[in-house]
Amino acid sequence: MSYLTPDKVPVGYSLTRRRAERGYKREDLPTFDAIPKNKWKLPFLVLRFLGRDLSVVVRTEGLGSKPFHGKLAVLVNEHTAGAAEMITGFVKENQLGKIVGTRTAGRLLGGTGFKVGHGYTLMIPVGCYLSWNGKRYEGAGIEPDVEVEWSAPGPNGNDRQLQEAVRSVTA
C-alpha cells in the first residue's frame, strides 16, 4: 500500500477481542509502518511484536511520489478477499483510485490455523480488521465505484472490466 500514496498514511488496524473489551485508542496501538529492506532485520521486527496482543495499526511508509499516482484502478470481484480487500478499502477510503468490478467477498478476519489431520486446517478468527475510519468489511464487502460484471473475454480478447478500468483512469 506504500506504493499507492506518497505520504505516511494510516491504513487501518486489527483488534483482538481482549483489546476491544479492555478499551483502546487506535493511536496508542503498536504500529507496523515499514517492511525491512534487509533480511537480517526481520528478527528485530519479530521481536517488536512477539508476545504482544495482536492488535496493531498498519501505516504506509511514505515512499514519495510515483508517476502513476492519481491514475490507479483496482479490479475486484466476489473473490477479492483478505489482504486484497484491505488494499481495496484503503484505495477507496483515501480516494487514491477507482474500484472497478463487483462487490468484494467481505472476508477480512485475522485468524490462526490449527492442523487437524488428513490435510485439513481449522481456522479460528482471533481479531477483526477496521479501516482507519472505522469501517468493517467483514460480511459486507466493498462496493466498487464502477460496477462492471465479469464476463469471459470476447473473441478479440477484450476484457470489459479491464477496459473500463483503463477508461476510468484516462478519462
pLDDT confidence of residue 59: 95
Q: Are 128 and 15 in contact (CB under 8 A)?
A: yes
- The single residue listed with the C-alpha cell 492442523 is 115
What nine digits make up the cell of 158?
Answer: 477484450
Stretch among 20-24, 45-49, 84-88, 92-96 having the lowest mean pLDDT: 45-49
Q: Which three cell numbers stand for residue 72?
A: 490507479
Question: Span 30-54, mean pLDDT?
Answer: 79
pTM of the model: 0.84
The set of cell numbers assigned to 116 is: 487437524
Q: For the chain, how are helix, strand and coil distributed in percent, rounded to 5?
A: 25, 25, 45
In percent, how much of the chain has pLDDT > 70?
99
Q: What is the pLDDT of residue 126?
A: 75
Determine the 3-state secondary structure of 71 from DSSP: coil
Could you give phi then psi for residue 110, rounded to 5 degrees? -80, 140
CATH number for the domain running over 2-170: 3.90.226
* Secondary structure (3-state) at 165: helix
pLDDT score for 109: 78
For the chain, what are the domain ranges?
Answer: 2-170
